């Protein structure tokens, strides 16, 4: 699993990692787009989902939206609230890893 934020540097490094894994014979790599921010994408500050997928040439496993609850709770050593955007995304990703058919979506 390759996790990349939708900025050009991270996506380029994700593509390099995917190529390296493929060269080692690992063909089932998947992509998680982390800290996705719709507003930043619209303003063209970050790449859109299709650009990230096209650049890494990986099958998308999930999208984790930018969620202030992550840094807020981590800095206090607390778990994420189950209703947070990130927690819901992590749950969907875990379900996909368990073989369940869960639609890709952004909360």
pLDDT in tens, 35-66: 999 999 999 999 999 999 999 999 999 999 99
Per residue in 4-14, pLDDT (tens digit) is: 999 999 999 99
Query: What distance in Å separates the CA atoms of residue 60 and residue 2, rounded to the nearest whole number?
Result: 10
Hey, what are 51's tokens? 């650009």
Give the global pTM.
0.90
Query: 37, 35, 30: which is closest to 56 by C-alpha?
Result: 30
Average pLDDT of the chain is: 94
pLDDT at 41: 92
């Amino acid at each position: 699993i390759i996790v990349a934020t939708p900025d050009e540097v991270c996506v380029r490094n994700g593509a390099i990692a995917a190529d390296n894994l493929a060269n080692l014979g690992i063909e089932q790599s998947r992509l998680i787009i982390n800290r996705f921010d719709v507003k930043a994408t619209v303003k063209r500050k970050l790449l859109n989902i299709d650009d990230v997928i096209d650049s890494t040439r990986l099958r998308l496993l999930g999208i984790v939206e930018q969620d202030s609850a992550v840094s807020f709770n981590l800095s206090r050593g607390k778990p994420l609230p189950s209703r947070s955007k990130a927690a819901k995304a992590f749950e969907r990703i875990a379900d996909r890893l368990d073989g369940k058919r869960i639609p890709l979506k952004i909360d």
